[in-house]
Structure formats: C-alpha cells, structure tokens
Amino acid sequence: MPSPRVRRTETARPSRSRRPRFGSGTRNHLAVLCVVLAASVFGYVLLEPRRVRVEADGREFTVDTSLADDVAVLSLSGVRLREGDRITALDGAGAEVLRVDRAKSVELQADGVTYRLRTHAKTIDELLREAGVTLSERDSVLLDGALVATNAPLVIRPLTRLAAGLRDEGDGSGQRTTIEVKRSVAFTIAEDGRDVLTTSSRPTVAQALREAGVVIGPGDALTPGEQAPLVAGLRIVVRHAKPVTVTLPDGHQVIYTLELSVGAALRAAGIALPPGAFIDPPEDAAVAAGMSVRVVQLSASSDEERESIASGTVYRSDPALAPGATRTEPGHDGVLVRRYDVSYVNGEEVARALIEEYYEVEPLDTVVYYPPQTGRDDAPPAGTATVLRVYATYYTPASAGRDPGDPAYGRTATGDIVTYGIVAVDPDVIPLGTRMFIPGYGYAVAADTGGAVKGYIIDLGYPDGVPIDWRPGWLDIYILS
C-alpha cells in the first residue's frame, strides 16, 4: 500500500450559509484555474516528465506529465475538483500517487437556518460539531426524514431520492443528504389527575407519550388524540380505564371502564341483567382496578327424589323346626319419596331443603327361619352405603394453563365452565356424569379430566377470583345414584 507524504491539499473549507455562493466567487475560481493552467503549460516545457497514478471516484489510471501542480495534473486528467475535496499525495511503487477524497454535500436545517455544507465528517455528531450546532437532551435528528442516533454514520443519498425541489447547487456531485434538527418543546401530561411537565421533539402525541413511558391501554381516554401534532405548551390529558372481571350466568368477561360505579360500568359495556338477577357488589359500589363483579341470577324449584329401598334378609330361629329344616316368609322392596325446595344461583344448585319424606311402598324384609343352633350367630353382615376414599385437590380456570384470551379458557372436557360443583376425575375410576357428595364442599358432578388427575385423585372446581379454603387431603366421598 502506498505510504502518505506530507502533502495534502483541500480545495476549500465547507461553507455555512443559507445559499451557495455563485457569481464573483466562481469567476475568481476560473481566473485562478487559468493562471494555474498557464503555469502548468510553462512548467511542462521546462520540467522533466513524471509518472503519476491518479485514484479518484473509484477509478485508477496513470498519466505521464511534466506539470508540477497537482490540481493541474488532475484537471488535465479529467478529474473535476469540487469545493471541500481533498488531494493526498502518496509514494507508490514506480509512480507518484494522487488520491482524491470527495467531500460530502449536506443540507443541515437547524433553528430555522439552512446550511449548505461540503464536509468530510463520518458521523452526524461530527457534522453538528463542525456546524457549531449543539443538542439538548430530548432534541432529535432526522436523516432524510428518518429518526437516527447522533452517532449514526453520515450516509449520502442520490438526489433523486430526496424531496422534490432539492438541487445539486451546481457542484455536479449528483448526491446530497438532508439532516434536520428537531428541537424539543415543553408540554404537560395530566395522567389520572396528576400533572407532569416534560419535553419531547417527537412529532405526534402518541410518540411523545411513548417517549415519556406512558402506555395507552384498552378503554383509556386521551385528549387530544394520538395523531395530534405535539406543540409547545400542549396539555395532554390521559385517563386510564380500570379492568373489571364480570362473571355472568353463562361465562365471564373482562371490561375496561372509566365509569365510577359498578352499575354504570356494566351499562356502558352493554351488559344487561337477566330477569331476577342482582349484582355483587351492588350497582352503586365504586369501581376499583382489578375488582370482580358477579351477576347473580336466583331461581327456585321443587324436586322429588324416589329411592328404591332394597329389602333385606333376616334370620330367625324357630324351635319348632326340625334340625336341617328351614322356612321362608318372602318380603318385597320399598320406595322412599323425598320432596325438596331447591334454590339456584346462575343455574347452579346452591341449596336444597327437605320438606317432605314418606314411603310410597314400605320395604318388607324376607325372613328365613332355621332351627336353633348352639354357640354361634350365622346372620350375614348388614349392607353398607357407596363410599369412595379419594385424594381431593382443587383448581380454577386461571390455574388450568390456558391464556384468558383462549376461547377454551375455563372450559371443561365436557364443555362446562369450571366453577363450584365441577369435579375433574379419572374416568376409569369415576365415570363422567357421576353425581357425588363431598363433605366440606357439597354436591358435585364429574365433568372434567386432567393430566395430573389419575387413579383415586379428584380436582374440585372453583371460579376465578374467590378465596379458596380447601386443603388437599384424603377423605371419603359419597357416590349418588
């Protein structure tokens, strides 16, 4: 690689003016060039020829010349120099080297002033220092209309990519880029009644809020709108909506509201109460972020249960019977009728009161008489109720592993909603649809399954947002017919 000598020429310093300089300056430049050319011609006659390799604009070529002036050599070689270009003389193998480093054409707009610069700055902050333009903390810089960091490289674009009307100003480079300094302005953010004075140079309200760390969520109110321009002294009012979980008879949903009371929040969300329903907490309760509201629909009915009571067999001794003889008096099964008043909340049974119980047919045991025996009682054991010992845990829709936005959130394997009275079971042990009574929990139905519910493990269902007082452990449950 050629090593540099101590000779560098720069055609001119970058200018800082609103308009490029033409007229007398250009004529003076042409006059100087003519003098240089005349001197070069004279030198060509008197000086010995020299070999020069020219490196300019991505090209390399060698010329033999008697001219001593580097500018004249380049001019006669067809290399046109422009304001701010640099010529570096290097020592090469077998020839001198003249390397031309082009200055970049830049238009800088700051504080209402437009600078036309020819510069060798490699980054934007170098250019700003060269132009004497300083930035405050939240000022921003646009490179050809795009937001960039101040340490970004200074990339020059072809003129055809710039805004209409931008000209090359006669230097013939065919390229220029535009840098605009956007000064920050002071404005106020009134967020939920609390005023904060801040600054930003972003063009819109939405971008300024993001820069200030203010997030606009669903249901939030913003004045002025997100696309309104940011101007000095603007007051941006932000009211954040509160999330409220509403549990309905047929499901649940999350609403975001700016209303102050529960009733107003439900009405604004278009949630109508079914006939006979009430709200818990009541309609005039104040809305709080993250609160849960339950729409409760009460209903009542009567229910009648008919239970078949199997007759038993009893054994009695009869001294009149001969040894080995027996006598049987057949009995029959009975029917027990129970009538209940049943209360429902959102279609789920919550209370059952027995109002009447009687035998429609009273059961009669079969009696088997046998001869007296000495020293032993051969009566079989009495029958037992259907009892199953299991390990009972609990779960909610939120603990089932699905995202609240999933359509299957809170849905069981049978399509029901996870709530009180839904139990997950292993169908190989307790078939789906089986009704049962669980001490400390109440009546329930087997309506769900789970990956961890295997064998004699059951999972008791609870809705989201309620305190759970169940402690997992072993207990006896009662399987109902």
Q: pTM (2 decimals)?
A: 0.48
- On whether both 251 and 328 belong to a single domain, the answer is yes
pLDDT of the residue at 374: 36
Find out whether the peptide bond into 158 is cis, omega within 30 degrees of 0. Answer: no
Cα 224 from Cα 202, distance rounded (Å) = 15
Phi and psi (nearest 5°) for 476? Answer: -95, 130
* 396 and 464 share one domain: yes
Residues 80 and 204 in one domain: no
45 and 138 part of one domain: no
Same domain (yes/no): 252, 369: yes
Burial of 83 (0-12, 13-18, 19+ CB in 10 A): buried
Per DSSP, the three-state class of 403 is coil
DSSP class per residue in 361-395: E--B-EEEEE---SS---PPPPP---EEEEEEEEE
The pLDDT, as a whole number, for residue 167 is 44
Final residue of a structural domain among 54, 73, 101: 101
Reduced 3-state DSSP string for 261-323: EHHHHHHHCCCCCCCCEEEECCCCCECCCCEEEEEEEEEEEEEEEEEEECCCEEEEECCCCCC
Q: Which of 80, 101, 122 is the last residue of a domain?
A: 101
Question: Using an 8 Å Cβ cutoff, are 43 and 67 in contact?
Answer: yes
| 251 and 379 share one domain | yes
3-class state of residue 185 by DSSP: strand
Say which amino acid occupies 82.
Answer: R
Q: How far apart, in whole angstroms, are the C-alpha atoms of residue 181 and residue 141?
A: 5
Number of H helices, E strands in the chain: 5, 29
The pLDDT score that the predictor gives to residue 231 is 94
Q: What is the residue range of 128's domain?
A: 104-182
> For residues 355 and 353, what is the distance between their CA atoms, to the nearest angstrom?
6
Q: CA 75, CA 62: separation in Å to the nearest integer?
A: 14
pLDDT at 345: 74
| Domain match, 289 and 377 both | yes
- The pLDDT score that the predictor gives to residue 456 is 94
Q: What tokens were used for 1? A: 């690689």
Query: The dihedral of CA 156, 99, 44, 94: what is its sign?
Result: negative
Judging by beta carbons within 10 Å of its beta carbon (0-12, 13-18, 19+), is residue 426 exposed, middle or buried? middle
What are the two backbone dihedrals, phi and then psi, of residue 208, each rounded to the nearest 5 degrees? -65, -40
Q: How far apart are CA 425 and CA 452, in angstroms?
A: 10
Helix (H, G, I), strand (E, B) or coil at 64: strand
User: How many domains is the chain built from?
Assistant: 5
Same structural domain, 249 and 337: yes
Residue 272, domain CATH: 2.20.230.10
> Is 463 in contact with 423 (CB distance < 8 Å)?
no
345 and 258 belong to one structural domain: yes
* 203 secondary structure, DSSP code: S
Instruction: Report cis status (omega within 30 of 0) of the bond before 224.
Output: yes
User: Residue 122, SS3?
Assistant: coil
Residue environment code for 428-462, b if the CB has 16+ CB neighbours within 10 A, otherwise e: ebbebebebebeebebbbbbbbbeebeeebbbbbb
What pLDDT score was predicted for residue 60? 87
**Distance in angstroms between the alpha carbons of the first and the last residue of the chain:** 98
What per-residue confidence (pLDDT) applies to 37?
A: 58
Sign of CA dihedral 123, 124, 129, 132: positive
Please check whether residues 174 and 189 belong to one and the same domain.
no
Same domain, 116 and 229: no
Say if residue 199 is in the same domain as residue 115.
Answer: no
Q: What distance in Å separates the CA atoms of residue 352 and residue 344, rounded to the nearest whole number?
A: 9
Question: Per DSSP, which regions of 67-176 are E strands?
Answer: 86-92, 95-101, 104-110, 113-119, 140-143, 146-148
**481 residues of the chain, pLDDT tens digit each:** 555 554 556 654 444 444 333 344 444 545 545 555 555 555 444 556 888 888 888 888 888 888 888 888 888 888 888 888 888 888 766 678 888 888 888 999 988 889 888 888 889 998 899 888 999 888 999 998 888 888 889 887 654 433 434 444 444 455 678 999 999 999 999 999 899 999 999 999 999 999 999 999 999 999 999 999 999 999 999 999 999 999 887 788 899 999 999 989 999 999 888 777 888 899 899 999 899 998 887 777 888 899 999 887 665 667 786 544 557 789 899 999 999 988 777 677 888 889 999 898 999 987 766 555 333 333 333 334 488 999 999 999 888 878 887 888 888 999 888 888 899 999 999 999 999 888 988 888 999 998 889 999 999 988 887 788 899 999 999 888 6
Q: Computed over its alpha carbons, how large is the radius of gyration of the chain?
A: 47
The Cα–Cα gap between 165 and 183 comes to 24
**Phi, psi at residue 127, to the nearest 5°?**
-65, -45
Q: Of the residues 216, 239, 262, which one is the last residue of a structural domain?
A: 239
Q: What pLDDT sits at residue 95?
A: 75
Residues 6+ apart with CB under 8 A from 27: none
Task: Give the helix, strand, coil percentages of the chain, each rounded to 5.
Answer: 10, 45, 45
